[in-house]
């Protein structure tokens, strides 16, 4: 339907003395925006391009805001959906596919990520508590000249401040310690 733009404007924005019915208004707005479908702007509004841009943005965001590959996997999923959108034009189904692909890729990437290691200290070394370590809680320990977060190996044991402790192992940034008097018994 080829309607000159001047006629479209009169349909959408009539003179003040001409009342419009709801049907006429809806038809006028529909015809006013139908020119978008036949202009060169229409290819820019395709879902394929949307998914390509979204995928590129998500992949680039991973470089600047690291999220342990979550954004990257979501970007890869968007790029996969961009390819599928050439065959499957329903946008809601594309969104569902993107969510499924993202979830699966994030799960698979987690399986190949290195696990958090428990570092066992070969020789039990001495440290000194700086703060009290309540039962099952963490406190601070002076170990090798640095202050470390520490907790007692025995969750029911509390350790007073300025007590000698043995460092048994390290879990992340937390030292696992035992009071000296318990090991000597």
What tokens were used for 148? 């470390």
Please indicate, yes or no, whether residues 126 and 176 belong to a single structural domain of this protein. yes
User: Where does the chain show beta strands of DSSP type E?
Assistant: 118-129, 138-143, 146-152, 164-171, 174-179
Helix (H) or strand (E) holding 11: helix 5-12
Q: Determine the Cα–Cα distance for residues 141 and 133; give it in Å rounded to an integer.
A: 9
- Domain end position, chosen among 112, 142, 163: 112
What is the number of structural domains in the chain?
3
Please indicate, yes or no, whether residues 82 and 99 belong to a single structural domain of this protein. yes
Please indicate, yes or no, whether residues 59 and 38 belong to a single structural domain of this protein. no
Cα 80 to the center of its chain, rounded Å: 18
**Percent of the chain predicted with pLDDT > 90:** 37
Please indicate, yes or no, whether residues 93 and 130 belong to a single structural domain of this protein. no
**Percent of the chain predicted with pLDDT > 70:** 69
Please indicate, yes or no, whether residues 95 and 148 belong to a single structural domain of this protein. no
Place of tokens 């959408």: 12
Please indicate, yes or no, whether residues 97 and 130 belong to a single structural domain of this protein. no
Question: Domain with 159 in it: what CATH number?
Answer: 2.40.50.140
**Under a CB-based contact definition with an 8 Å cutoff, are residues 164 and 138 in contact?**
no
Q: Can you give the residue range of the structural domain that contains 129?
A: 120-183
Please indicate, yes or no, whether residues 164 and 150 belong to a single structural domain of this protein. yes
Pairing of strands 146-152, 174-179: parallel
Please indicate, yes or no, whether residues 140 and 107 belong to a single structural domain of this protein. no
**Residue 36: what pLDDT?**
46
Helix (H), strand (E) counts: the chain: 6, 5
Please indicate, yes or no, whether residues 37 and 56 belong to a single structural domain of this protein. no
Please indicate, yes or no, whether residues 127 and 150 belong to a single structural domain of this protein. yes
When comparing pLDDT for 81 and 36, which is higher? 81
Q: What count of Cα atoms within 13 Å lies in the side-chain half-sphere of residue 109?
A: 16
For residue range 77-134, what is the model confidence (pLDDT) as tens digits? Answer: 999 999 999 999 899 999 999 999 999 999 998 888 777 665 555 555 888 999 999 8
- Domain end position, chosen among 77, 112, 147: 112
For residue range 57-67, what is the model confidence (pLDDT) as tens digits? Answer: 999 998 888 88
- Domain end position, chosen among 92, 112, 132: 112
């Amino acid at each position: 339907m080829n309607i000159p733009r001047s006629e479209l404007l009169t349909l959408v924005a009539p003179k003040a003395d001409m009342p419009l019915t709801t049907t006429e208004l809806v038809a006028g707005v529909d015809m006013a925006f139908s020119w978008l479908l036949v202009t060169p702007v229409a290819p820019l509004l395709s879902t394929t391009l949307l998914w390509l841009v979204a995928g590129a943005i998500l992949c680039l965001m991973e470089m600047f805001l690291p999220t342990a590959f979550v954004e990257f996997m979501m970007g890869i999923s968007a790029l996969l959906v961009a390819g599928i959108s050439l065959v499957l034009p329903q946008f809601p189904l594309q969104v569902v596919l993107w969510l499924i692909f993202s979830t699966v890729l994030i799960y698979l990437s987690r399986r190949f990520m290195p696990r958090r290691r428990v570092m066992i200290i070969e020789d039990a070394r001495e440290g000194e508590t700086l703060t009290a370590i309540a039962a099952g809680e963490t406190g601070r320990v002076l170990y090798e000249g640095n202050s470390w977060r520490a907790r007692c190996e025995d969750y029911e044991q509390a350790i007073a401040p300025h007590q000698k402790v043995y460092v048994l192992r390290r879990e992340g940034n937390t030292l696992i310690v035992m009071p000296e008097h318990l090991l000597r018994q």
